[in-house]
C-alpha cells in the first residue's frame, strides 16, 4: 500500500500520530485499517479512499459524522482530511458488524436477540432523522457492536449514501420525485425505492423491517435470484418483494413484525414515522414473553460458554472463530427459541396500541399519550435508555 505517510520502512502513518497496522475491511469506497496511536498505543479505525475515486464520498461522510457527533451509537471521529493521494477518516475502533455476528451464530438469531436489536436500531435511525438526514442504506453490515464497556451498544455507520431530507432552518421537506435510480442495497430497499420514488424517512424504517425479518428467517424470499445483468436482478428482486404479501413474509413469527411492515409501508412521503409506536410494538412483545433486558445476545452466550471452558470437548482442542476483526472462542451454537402462543394480555395491548395509532391519525392524541406513559412506567425497570 502506498497510502498516507511513511516514516520508517514498512510503516505508514496518518495525521502524524496513527500507525496503520493491518487491513480489517474494504468496500467500494476503499479500505479500512486497524491503526494505533503512536503516543499511547490506543487502537483506532482508519478509513482510506483514493482522491481519484470515481464517486468520492469519504469527505462528505466525514462532514456528516461531524453533524451527528454526540449521538448515542454514532462513532466518535478523531480526525479527517486529505493526505497525499487519499481521503482519510480516523474514528473509534468498533466491534464486528451484526452481519458478522449473524454468521457467527449460524445465521439465525433468537427472538429475544432480534427484539433487543430492534429497540436500539430504531433509536439510531430516529436520531439520524432528528438531524434532518436519512441513511438510505440500512442493512446488517452497517450496524456494528461496540467494544469494551460499550460491547452491548449498537452503532450505525457508513453515511456515504445519506441525504438531507429537510432544511435545518426552515424545516422544509424535500420534494416528491420519481424516476430516481435505486440507492442502497437492493435486498433491503423499500418498495418505493425500487419504483424510483425519492426516499424519505419511511424508507429507512421499511428497510429495517426487512433486516429484522432477515434475522428471524435466516434469509429473505428475494435472495439468490439469478439474472443476466444487475438491472435485471434488481427488477426480479423488486417483483418478488412486491408479490410477497407481508403476512407470508412474516408467517410463523409474531404478528408485531407484520404490523411494523404494514405501518411503514403505509406512511406518506413526508409523514414522520411514529418511532415510539414502533418501539412499543416490540417492547410489549418482549415483556409479554417474559424476556429480561439483560444484554445477553446470542453471541454473548457463545462467548460465555467459551469462557467457562478452556477447551471445547473435542480431544481438548480449542476452536477459534473470527467475527469481523475480533476473535472469539467458538462453541456449539445455542438452540433456536421455543415457540410461544399469543397471551391474552399481549393481544389486548396490541389492540389498544392499534386503536391509539388510529386515534393519532384522527388527531385524538390524548388516549395515545396516556397509554404510552403507562407502558413506559410499566417497563421503566426493564429497559434502559439507549
Positions annotated as catalytic residues are 137
Distance CA 252, CA 249 (A): 9
Residue reference for cell 384522527: 362
Do residues 87 and 3 make contact, with C-beta atoms less than 8 angstroms apart? no
d(CA 360, CA 178): 29
| Residues 6+ positions from 140 with CB-CB distance below 8 Å | 97, 98, 99, 102, 211, 214, 215
Hunting for cell 482522491 — which residue is that?
51
Strand 163-164 with 320-323, pairing = unpaired
How many whole angstroms separate alpha carbon 187 and alpha carbon 272?
Answer: 24
Q: What distance in Å separates the CA atoms of residue 205 and residue 333, rounded to the nearest whole number?
A: 30
Amino acid at each position: 500500500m502506498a497510502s498516507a505517510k511513511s516514516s520508517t520502512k514498512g510503516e505508514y502513518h496518518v495525521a502524524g500520530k496513527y500507525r496503520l497496522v493491518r487491513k480489517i475491511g474494504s468496500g467500494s469506497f476503499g479500505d479500512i485499517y486497524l491503526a494505533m496511536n503512536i503516543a499511547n498505543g490506543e487502537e483506532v479505525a482508519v478509513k482510506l479512499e483514493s482522491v481519484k475515486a470515481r464517486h468520492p464520498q469519504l469527505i462528505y461522510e466525514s462532514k456528516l459524522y461531524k453533524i451527528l457527533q454526540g449521538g448515542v451509537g454514532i462513532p466518535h471521529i478523531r480526525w479527517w482530511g486529505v493526505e497525499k493521494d487519499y481521503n482519510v477518516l480516523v474514528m473509534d475502533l468498533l466491534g464486528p458488524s451484526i452481519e458478522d455476528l449473524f454468521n457467527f451464530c449460524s445465521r439465525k438469531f433468537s427472538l429475544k436477540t432480534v427484539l433487543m436489536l430492534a429497540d436500539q436500531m430504531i433509536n439510531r435511525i430516529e436520531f439520524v432523522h432528528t438531524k434532518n438526514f436519512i441513511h438510505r442504506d440500512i442493512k446488517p453490515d452497517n450496524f456494528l457492536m461496540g467494544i469494551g464497556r460499550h460491547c452491548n451498544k449498537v452503532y450505525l455507520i457508513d453515511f456515504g449514501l445519506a441525504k438531507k431530507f429537510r432544511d435545518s432552518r426552515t424545516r422544509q421537506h424535500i420534494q416528491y420525485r420519481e424516476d430516481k435510480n435505486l440507492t442502497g442495497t437492493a435486498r433491503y430497499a423499500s418498495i418505493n425505492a425500487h419504483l424510483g420514488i425519492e426516499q424519505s424517512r419511511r424508507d429507512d424504517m421499511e428497510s429495517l423491517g426487512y433486516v429484522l425479518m432477515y434475522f428471524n428467517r435466516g434469509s429473505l424470499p428475494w435472495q439468490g435470484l439469478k439474472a443476466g445483468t444487475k438491472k435485471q436482478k434488481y427488477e426480479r428482486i423488486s417483483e418478488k418483494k412486491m408479490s410477497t404479501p407481508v403476512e407470508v413474509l412474516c408467517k410463523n413469527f409474531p404478528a408485531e413484525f407484520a404490523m411494523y411492515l404494514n405501518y411503514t409501508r403505509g406512511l406518506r412521503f413526508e409523514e414522520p414515522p411514529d418511532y415510539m409506536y414502533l418501539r412499543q410494538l416490540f417492547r410489549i412483545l418482549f415483556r409479554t414473553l417474559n424476556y429480561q433486558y439483560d444484554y445477553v445476545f446470542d453471541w454473548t452466550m457463545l462467548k460465555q460458554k467459551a469462557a467457562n471452558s478452556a477447551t471445547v470437548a473435542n480431544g481438548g482442542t480449542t476452536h477459534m472463530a473470527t467475527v469481523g476483526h475480533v476473535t472469539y472462542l467458538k462453541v456449539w451454537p445455542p438452540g433456536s427459541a421455543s415457540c410461544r402462543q399469543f397471551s391474552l394480555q399481549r393481544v389486548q395491548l396490541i389492540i389498544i396500541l392499534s386503536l391509539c395509532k388510529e386515534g393519532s391519525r384522527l388527531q385524538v392524541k390524548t388516549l395515545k399519550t396516556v397509554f404510552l406513559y403507562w407502558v413506559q412506567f410499566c417497563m421503566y425497570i426493564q429497559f434502559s435508555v439507549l
